[in-house]
Amino acid sequence: MRSLRRSGRWGIVSTLLLTLIGSVPAVVAKPRNTGPQIHKRSLQDQEASTQLVKDAAKALAEQNLVEAQRLLTEAYLKWPSPTILYHLGVVAAKEGRLLDAHDLLRRYESDPASTPDPAMGAEIQRLLSKQRPPSGKVLVLGDDGAIVRVDGRVVGSLPLVQPLLVSPGDSHIISLEFPEQQVPAQVNVSAGRFAELRINRATRSTLLTVLPAYVVLTEYSDVPQPSTIKLDEAIELGVQGEKKSVLKREIALKSAPELASCLDQIDCQAKLAEKTEVDGLIRLSVENTAAKTGGAPSYKLTLQLLDPTVGAIAGQASRELPPERAATAIPEMLSQIIGDASLRRRGTINIRTIPEGVEVYAGARLLGKTPLSRATWVGRYELSFRKPGFAPEIANTEVTDGKTSELEVSLKPGVTLPPPPPPSKFDIQFMPRTIQHPRPFWRWLVGGSAIATGIVLLGFGASAVSASSACSASMPCTVDGKTYYRDTGSLGPGLAIIGTFALLGGGALIAIPGRKEQSDLFTILYKR
């Protein structure tokens, strides 16, 4: 059995060895653009890097992964080719450092200078298909060309095409290496969080900024797994592009496992966002409509952004696209809803009741028990108040931008009405609505009168013009032997012109719609 296992490992090493040897020309031919102003390299460095890669291949043949790691690192320092990062990633996978392997391989794959052959591409996909351990992300910013080390290991050079993946909860030393010095920084990033690390070469100062985080929930209906993987990557990159980090469902639920069964409800989503202390919750729903209709393949994408402070949807976007365009549309949709959310105006509502402990509802949604103070969108609200042993009450309030609205309600003892429908069957969304007011009565009255007047004047004007042209000086009329003609002068055309303007003006008064008003009204959606 031992010999069989050894022969299996030898087969893996042999495959890697052949890949290394075969890719040496690529290593030396495609260097990383590392800024010659920092690290000056020559043809001798290129040749030395090639030899070091060959030596690394020999070390692998002897199953000496430590030596192979050292030689590949030295080769990268002399000639920072992205291809060497690929080999470092494979070595990391052989050593059982799966997160390091994911970090190196995904950045190699994203590098425009990388040209993986079919064998390398297959190996990358095989390793990246393995479930990635929990990680935090760090985007390192500094002088282009600087070598990046994490806990002493070389992991690339600036600029990074993708943020670094680091194990969460552990303290890491991330340093930039220059010819004359190293500038280190101590970094600790929680799982799912995204941080920016700025390192100044001149001042040796470092600044770590943890970016806002969003919990991301995904729901796929009849979508094949290859597509779900692409969509997951798209939403992660889209959030990252907005300078935010993604906190995946499984990581977020570690802080609140009791919420796992109710995440289809907005109140439950708001609780999860509150417990994980994130800035928002994004929900992506993708439905393969062709599975129901039997038509051409089509994905219906719905993106929602929940504001945890308000406990309501702050932005929403929906599109129906062919499967091949779905992933590319997500970043644009994300940018749209995040932008919409940033424009939403908020206020605060303080509610007091006599007695206290009264449940406050907006539609079927329970807002809480009094005394109650919470942020909400600007707009008008109709609230209902319920408490056993008291007659229910309904009150209206208006919340203005940046202001606190005070509301006090007294309940009278009486018969308690049945409770409202269970919130679990309803989804209450406070979304901006455009109210189209009807045309005012005076416009109907004036417009109608103007139209009637215009018709009469047009009739008179046309009649006058017709009469004038029928018996003119050039063509007189003869009646009972008498010759005569009619001359209405400018009366006919004048009446026609005035009638036309009156007709058009009256029509415009009626045709123009009433004024529009933006208001935050809640919509109750029944869940099937």
Q: Sort residue 222 into left (φ over 0), alpha (ψ -120 to 50) or beta.
A: left
| 164 against 490, higher pLDDT | 164
Q: Sort residue 192 into left (φ over 0), alpha (ψ -120 to 50) or beta.
A: left
pLDDT digits 0-9 by tens, 252-307: 888 788 998 888 888 888 888 888 878 889 999 999 988 777 778 899 999 999 99
Question: pLDDT category, 488, cuts 50, 70, 90?
Answer: low
Mean of the pLDDT values across residues 39-65?
85
Q: Are 438 and 514 in contact (CB under 8 A)?
A: yes
> Distance between CA 315 and CA 302 in Å, rounded?
11
Q: For the CA atoms of 4, 10, 16, 22, what is the dihedral angle to 10 degrees?
A: -120
Residue 316 domain flag:
yes
Question: pLDDT category, 518, cuts 50, 70, 90?
Answer: low
Mean of the pLDDT values across residues 410-425?
66
Q: Are 342 and 459 in contact (CB under 8 A)?
A: no
Specify the 3-state DSSP secondary structure of 19: helix
pLDDT of residue 36: 45
pLDDT of residue 70: 92
9 plus 84 within the same structural domain? yes
Residue 88 domain flag:
yes
229 plus 321 within the same structural domain? yes
Total tally of structural domains belonging to the chain: 5
Question: pLDDT category, 187, cuts 50, 70, 90?
Answer: very high
Please say which residue of 293, 317, 342 terminates a domain: 342
338 plus 352 within the same structural domain? no
Confidence check: pLDDT of 168 > 80: yes
pLDDT of residue 60: 80
Please state the length of the chain. 528
Q: The domain that contains 1 carries what CATH number?
A: 1.25.40
pLDDT of residue 325: 92
pLDDT digits 0-9 by tens, 85-103: 988 998 999 899 999 999 9
335 plus 243 within the same structural domain? yes
Lowest-pLDDT range of 59-68, 391-400, 467-476: 467-476
Helix (H) or strand (E) holding 172: strand 172-177
Neighbours of 271 (CB within 10 A): 18
pLDDT digits 0-9 by tens, 423-465: 544 444 445 555 566 777 777 788 788 888 888 877 777 777 6
331 burial class (0-12, 13-18, 19+ CB within 10 angstroms)?
middle
> Distance between CA 2 and CA 528 in Å, rounded?
58
Question: pLDDT category, 487, cuts 50, 70, 90?
Answer: low
CA distances to 39, 104, 148, 209, 308 from 107, rounded to whole Å, are 21, 5, 13, 22, 33
424 plus 446 within the same structural domain? no
237 plus 333 within the same structural domain? yes
Residue 435 domain flag:
no
Residue 506 domain flag:
yes
219 plus 206 within the same structural domain? no
257 plus 324 within the same structural domain? yes
Neighbours of 354 (CB within 10 A): 12
Strands 404-410 and 346-354: parallel
Residue 524 domain flag:
no
Residue 526 domain flag:
no
Question: pLDDT category, 29, cuts 50, 70, 90?
Answer: very low
Residue whose pair of structure tokens reads 């941080």 in the numeric block: 195
pLDDT of residue 363: 81
412 plus 470 within the same structural domain? no
Residue 322 domain flag:
yes
pLDDT of residue 185: 94
Neighbours of 161 (CB within 10 A): 16
> Distance between CA 290 and CA 337 in Å, rounded?
26
**HEC profile for 332-359?**
HHHHHHHHHHHHCCEEEEEEEEECCCCE
pLDDT digits 0-9 by tens, 340-393: 888 888 899 999 999 999 999 988 778 889 999 988 888 888 999 999 889 999
Return the ∠ at Cα 356 (arms to 355 and 358), rounded to 5°: 95
23 plus 104 within the same structural domain? yes
Q: The domain that contains 358 carries what CATH number?
A: 2.60.40.1120
Q: Sort residue 463 into left (φ over 0), alpha (ψ -120 to 50) or beta.
A: alpha
Residue 373 domain flag:
yes
124 plus 148 within the same structural domain? no
pLDDT of residue 82: 87
Listed in order, strand segments (DSSP E) in 370-474 are: 372-377, 379-386, 393-399, 404-410, 426-436
Percent of the chain with pLDDT over 90: 29
Please say which residue of 301, 318, 342 terminates a domain: 342
| 2 against 80, higher pLDDT | 80
Specify the 3-state DSSP secondary structure of 512: coil
Confidence check: pLDDT of 514 > 80: no
> Distance between CA 365 and CA 308 in Å, rounded?
15
> Distance between CA 313 and CA 300 in Å, rounded?
19
> Distance between CA 401 and CA 363 in Å, rounded?
22
> Distance between CA 88 and CA 79 in Å, rounded?
14
389 plus 309 within the same structural domain? no
Question: pLDDT category, 416, cuts 50, 70, 90?
Answer: low
Question: Beta partners for 138?
Answer: 164, 195
> Distance between CA 277 and CA 291 in Å, rounded?
38
What rounded mean pLDDT belongs to the chain?
80
Please say which residue of 87, 115, 131 terminates a domain: 131
Q: The domain that contains 175 carries what CATH number?
A: 2.60.40
pTM for this prediction:
0.52
| 225 against 496, higher pLDDT | 225
Question: pLDDT category, 329, cuts 50, 70, 90?
Answer: very high
Q: The domain that contains 265 carries what CATH number?
A: 3.40.50.10070
Confidence check: pLDDT of 162 > 70: yes
Range of the domain at 155: 134-211
Q: Which of 484, 457, 458, 485 is nearest to 469 (CA)?
A: 485
Q: Are 428 and 452 in contact (CB under 8 A)?
A: no
